[in-house]
Structure 1
Amino acid sequence: MLGENHALFIEFPELQDKIKELKNSDEHFKQMSDRYHHLDHKIRGLECNNIPTDDTHFTQLKLERLQLKDKLYSLLSN
Protein backbone atom coordinates (compact mmCIF):
# COMPACT_ATOMS: atom_id res chain seq x y z
CA MET A 1 0.00 0.00 0.00
CA LEU A 2 1.42 3.37 -1.00
CA GLY A 3 2.12 5.87 1.74
CA GLU A 4 1.74 3.33 4.53
CA ASN A 5 3.34 4.39 7.80
CA HIS A 6 5.99 1.92 8.94
CA ALA A 7 6.92 3.64 12.21
CA LEU A 8 8.44 1.29 14.77
CA PHE A 9 5.50 1.80 17.15
CA ILE A 10 3.15 0.67 14.37
CA GLU A 11 5.32 -2.20 13.19
CA PHE A 12 5.95 -3.50 16.72
CA PRO A 13 3.08 -2.26 18.93
CA GLU A 14 3.79 -4.93 21.56
CA LEU A 15 7.34 -3.56 21.96
CA GLN A 16 6.56 0.14 22.47
CA ASP A 17 7.94 0.21 26.02
CA LYS A 18 11.14 -1.53 24.93
CA ILE A 19 11.53 0.88 21.99
CA LYS A 20 11.24 3.88 24.32
CA GLU A 21 13.64 2.32 26.81
CA LEU A 22 16.30 1.58 24.21
CA LYS A 23 15.97 4.99 22.56
CA ASN A 24 16.79 6.52 25.94
CA SER A 25 19.51 4.13 27.03
CA ASP A 26 21.28 2.90 23.88
CA GLU A 27 22.83 5.51 21.57
CA HIS A 28 23.39 2.99 18.77
CA PHE A 29 19.72 1.93 18.86
CA LYS A 30 18.66 5.59 18.89
CA GLN A 31 20.79 6.40 15.84
CA MET A 32 19.45 3.41 13.93
CA SER A 33 15.83 4.17 14.86
CA ASP A 34 16.31 7.83 13.86
CA ARG A 35 17.70 6.72 10.49
CA TYR A 36 14.79 4.26 10.11
CA HIS A 37 12.29 7.05 10.85
CA HIS A 38 14.01 9.37 8.35
CA LEU A 39 13.93 6.70 5.63
CA ASP A 40 10.29 5.87 6.30
CA HIS A 41 9.33 9.54 6.14
CA LYS A 42 11.27 10.01 2.89
CA ILE A 43 9.74 6.91 1.27
CA ARG A 44 6.20 7.93 2.25
CA GLY A 45 6.84 11.43 0.93
CA LEU A 46 7.93 10.08 -2.42
CA GLU A 47 4.93 7.74 -2.59
CA CYS A 48 2.26 10.17 -1.41
CA ASN A 49 3.42 13.17 -3.41
CA ASN A 50 4.12 11.25 -6.62
CA ILE A 51 7.63 12.67 -6.69
CA PRO A 52 9.51 11.23 -9.65
CA THR A 53 12.43 9.10 -8.56
CA ASP A 54 14.66 6.52 -10.11
CA ASP A 55 13.45 2.95 -9.46
CA THR A 56 16.92 1.91 -8.33
CA HIS A 57 17.10 4.76 -5.82
CA PHE A 58 13.61 4.03 -4.50
CA THR A 59 14.36 0.32 -4.16
CA GLN A 60 17.62 1.15 -2.39
CA LEU A 61 15.78 3.32 0.16
CA LYS A 62 13.24 0.57 0.84
CA LEU A 63 15.96 -2.06 1.17
CA GLU A 64 17.89 0.06 3.67
CA ARG A 65 14.71 0.60 5.68
CA LEU A 66 14.03 -3.15 5.70
CA GLN A 67 17.58 -3.97 6.78
CA LEU A 68 17.37 -1.43 9.61
CA LYS A 69 14.01 -2.83 10.68
CA ASP A 70 15.55 -6.31 10.92
CA LYS A 71 18.50 -5.03 12.97
CA LEU A 72 16.23 -3.02 15.26
CA TYR A 73 13.93 -6.00 15.80
CA SER A 74 16.93 -8.14 16.65
CA LEU A 75 17.97 -5.67 19.34
CA LEU A 76 14.41 -5.39 20.61
CA SER A 77 13.93 -9.13 20.90
CA ASN A 78 17.11 -9.72 22.92
Structure 2
Amino acid sequence: MPGLDPSQGRRHRNGRVTARIDIRRNHPMAHTPHELSEEFPGEQEKIAKLSADSAHFAKLADEYHEVNRAIHRAETDVEPTDDLHMIDLRKRRMILKDEIAALLRA
Protein backbone atom coordinates (compact mmCIF):
# COMPACT_ATOMS: atom_id res chain seq x y z
CA MET A 1 0.00 0.00 0.00
CA PRO A 2 1.59 3.25 -1.03
CA GLY A 3 2.48 5.52 1.85
CA LEU A 4 1.85 2.90 4.51
CA ASP A 5 4.31 3.06 7.37
CA PRO A 6 6.06 -0.34 7.66
CA SER A 7 5.33 -0.38 11.39
CA GLN A 8 1.61 -0.48 10.52
CA GLY A 9 1.84 -3.57 8.36
CA ARG A 10 3.85 -6.44 7.02
CA ARG A 11 6.71 -5.87 4.57
CA HIS A 12 7.06 -8.54 1.92
CA ARG A 13 10.22 -9.56 0.05
CA ASN A 14 9.19 -7.45 -2.94
CA GLY A 15 9.07 -4.35 -0.72
CA ARG A 16 5.27 -4.21 -0.67
CA VAL A 17 3.65 -3.50 2.67
CA THR A 18 0.24 -4.97 3.47
CA ALA A 19 -1.95 -3.48 6.13
CA ARG A 20 -2.18 -5.29 9.41
CA ILE A 21 -5.76 -5.58 10.56
CA ASP A 22 -6.48 -6.40 14.18
CA ILE A 23 -9.80 -8.22 14.18
CA ARG A 24 -9.62 -8.80 17.93
CA ARG A 25 -10.30 -5.11 18.45
CA ASN A 26 -13.35 -5.04 16.17
CA HIS A 27 -11.60 -3.10 13.46
CA PRO A 28 -13.61 -3.46 10.29
CA MET A 29 -12.03 -6.05 8.05
CA ALA A 30 -11.65 -5.12 4.44
CA HIS A 31 -13.55 -7.20 1.96
CA THR A 32 -11.79 -10.27 0.67
CA PRO A 33 -10.04 -9.27 -2.56
CA HIS A 34 -10.10 -11.39 -5.72
CA GLU A 35 -13.68 -12.60 -5.31
CA LEU A 36 -15.11 -14.05 -8.52
CA SER A 37 -17.46 -11.08 -8.92
CA GLU A 38 -14.41 -8.78 -9.02
CA GLU A 39 -12.34 -11.07 -11.21
CA PHE A 40 -15.16 -11.44 -13.74
CA PRO A 41 -17.15 -8.18 -13.64
CA GLY A 42 -20.44 -8.38 -15.45
CA GLU A 43 -20.48 -12.20 -15.27
CA GLN A 44 -22.34 -12.60 -11.96
CA GLU A 45 -25.50 -13.96 -13.62
CA LYS A 46 -23.53 -16.45 -15.71
CA ILE A 47 -21.55 -17.54 -12.63
CA ALA A 48 -24.78 -18.07 -10.67
CA LYS A 49 -26.38 -20.01 -13.55
CA LEU A 50 -23.34 -22.22 -14.09
CA SER A 51 -23.08 -22.84 -10.34
CA ALA A 52 -26.69 -24.00 -10.29
CA ASP A 53 -26.53 -26.05 -13.51
CA SER A 54 -23.06 -27.59 -13.34
CA ALA A 55 -21.76 -29.53 -10.35
CA HIS A 56 -18.25 -29.26 -11.80
CA PHE A 57 -18.43 -25.46 -12.06
CA ALA A 58 -19.95 -25.20 -8.58
CA LYS A 59 -17.10 -27.32 -7.18
CA LEU A 60 -14.48 -25.13 -8.91
CA ALA A 61 -16.14 -21.95 -7.62
CA ASP A 62 -16.37 -23.32 -4.08
CA GLU A 63 -12.72 -24.37 -4.10
CA TYR A 64 -11.73 -20.97 -5.54
CA HIS A 65 -13.56 -19.20 -2.69
CA GLU A 66 -12.00 -21.52 -0.12
CA VAL A 67 -8.46 -20.97 -1.43
CA ASN A 68 -9.01 -17.24 -1.88
CA ARG A 69 -10.21 -16.83 1.70
CA ALA A 70 -7.25 -18.88 2.99
CA ILE A 71 -4.92 -16.49 1.13
CA HIS A 72 -6.72 -13.48 2.59
CA ARG A 73 -6.53 -14.89 6.13
CA ALA A 74 -2.79 -15.51 5.68
CA GLU A 75 -2.16 -12.04 4.21
CA THR A 76 -3.95 -10.38 7.12
CA ASP A 77 -2.15 -12.58 9.67
CA VAL A 78 -5.41 -14.09 10.90
CA GLU A 79 -3.88 -17.47 10.01
CA PRO A 80 -0.20 -16.84 9.24
CA THR A 81 1.57 -19.26 6.92
CA ASP A 82 5.02 -19.70 5.45
CA ASP A 83 6.03 -18.33 2.04
CA LEU A 84 6.05 -21.72 0.29
CA HIS A 85 2.49 -22.48 1.38
CA MET A 86 1.41 -19.00 0.27
CA ILE A 87 2.98 -19.57 -3.16
CA ASP A 88 1.17 -22.91 -3.46
CA LEU A 89 -2.14 -21.28 -2.49
CA ARG A 90 -1.70 -18.49 -5.04
CA LYS A 91 -0.79 -20.98 -7.79
CA ARG A 92 -3.89 -23.04 -6.98
CA ARG A 93 -6.07 -19.91 -7.07
CA MET A 94 -4.63 -18.99 -10.46
CA ILE A 95 -5.28 -22.49 -11.86
CA LEU A 96 -8.85 -22.43 -10.58
CA LYS A 97 -9.43 -18.96 -12.00
CA ASP A 98 -8.15 -20.11 -15.41
CA GLU A 99 -10.49 -23.13 -15.35
CA ILE A 100 -13.44 -20.94 -14.33
CA ALA A 101 -12.61 -18.41 -17.07
CA ALA A 102 -12.54 -21.18 -19.68
CA LEU A 103 -15.99 -22.38 -18.60
CA LEU A 104 -17.36 -18.83 -18.65
CA ARG A 105 -16.09 -18.39 -22.23
CA ALA A 106 -17.61 -21.70 -23.40
Aligned-pair identity (%): 37
Q: Give the conservation status (yes or no) of the 8 Å contact 2:71–2:89.
A: yes
Count matched residues. Answer: 78
Deviations 1:17-58 (A, max 9, x none): 110000000000000100000000010011012643221111
More strand, by proportion: 2
User: Structure 1 residue runs of 4+, over 3 Å off?
Assistant: 1-4
Q: In structure 1, how many angstroms separate the alpha carbons of the residues matched to 2:73 and 2:79?
A: 8
Give the TM-score taking structure 1 as reference length.
Answer: 0.90
- The one of 67, 70, 81 aligned to 1:39: 67
Q: 2:93 matched to which residue of 1?
A: 65
* Greater Rg by CA: 2
AA matched with 2:59: Q
Give the TM-score taking structure 2 as reference length.
Answer: 0.67
More helix, by proportion: 1
Name stretches of at least 5 consecutive residues in structure 2 with no aligned partner.
2-17, 19-29
Name stretches of at least 5 consecutive residues in structure 1 with no aligned partner.
none
